[in-house]
Structure 1
């Protein structure tokens, strides 16, 4: 006879659920809802950080590109100035000693012709 007795929390022979179980279920659903909201918030925060990080990297890349371009232009100007100075110096030496310049040019031409025949 004791085997057929119902316990207060069992669902054997009772059509409804225990009120405590319903409250626990509602509490669990509420916690799951908050957890979903927290996860959605974290997802938005990660997306925002990634977007800002990409923007920072893009800005740094553009700044580096501009810096490299400026340095390249500066080196080009320096090379042009050095070539211009060299040309001016050569012109002055040729004017100062034209016979020597012609002989040097002829010697270089002769060596060039002998080397690359």
Structure 2
């Protein structure tokens, strides 16, 4: 009789263990499903964050481009004015002293020709 009680007890323990294992497996599956949902929500949040940052970076780049264009145009305008002033000063100087200007031009030409021929 004790053997039957032990066998029955072992069978009950085995059935309880199987039921516990089934509950554990079900709990694991529920946790996995919850994790999948959390990962999907996280992926969506990351996508939204990235889209927001992309817009922000585009706006910054556009502003930087406009600033660069404005600065470049201002620099070009300043250089053009300076070049015009130098051109006018040189023209005035050549009109005042044409022979000296011709001599300087001939000397510069001679130096360029000497340098050019020594390179060959």
Q: Quick check: 1:49 aligned with 2:49?
A: yes
User: In the comparison of the two structures, how many residue pairs are matched?
Assistant: 112
Aligned to 2:15: 11
Q: Identify which range, 85-94 or 3-12, moves more after superposition.
A: 3-12
Structure 1 segment 1-117 matched on structure 2, within 5 A: 1=3, 2-6=5-9, 10-11=14-15, 32-117=32-117
- C-alpha spacing 1:5/1:73, structure 2 compared with 1 (3 Å): same
How far the C-alpha of 1:91 sits from its partner, in A, is 0.8
- C-alpha spacing 1:111/1:28, structure 2 compared with 1 (3 Å): closer
Note the alpha carbon deviations across 1:9-42, whole angstroms, 9 max, x for none: 6428xxxx86x88877776665554443333222
How far the C-alpha of 1:101 sits from its partner, in A, is 1.6
- The alignment's TM-score, normalised by the length of structure 2, stands at 0.67
CA RMSD, Structure 1 to Structure 2 (Å): 3.0
Structure 2, gaps ≥5 residues long: none
Q: Identify which range, 28-37 or 107-116, moves more after superposition.
A: 28-37
Distance 1:110 1:28 in 2: 93
Distance 1:77 1:32 in 2: 66
4+ residue runs over 3 A deviation: 6-10, 20-36
Structure 1, gaps ≥5 residues long: none
- C-alpha spacing 1:101/1:33, structure 2 compared with 1 (3 Å): same
- The alignment's TM-score, normalised by the length of structure 1, stands at 0.68
- Tell me, what secondary structure is at the counterpart of 2:15? coil
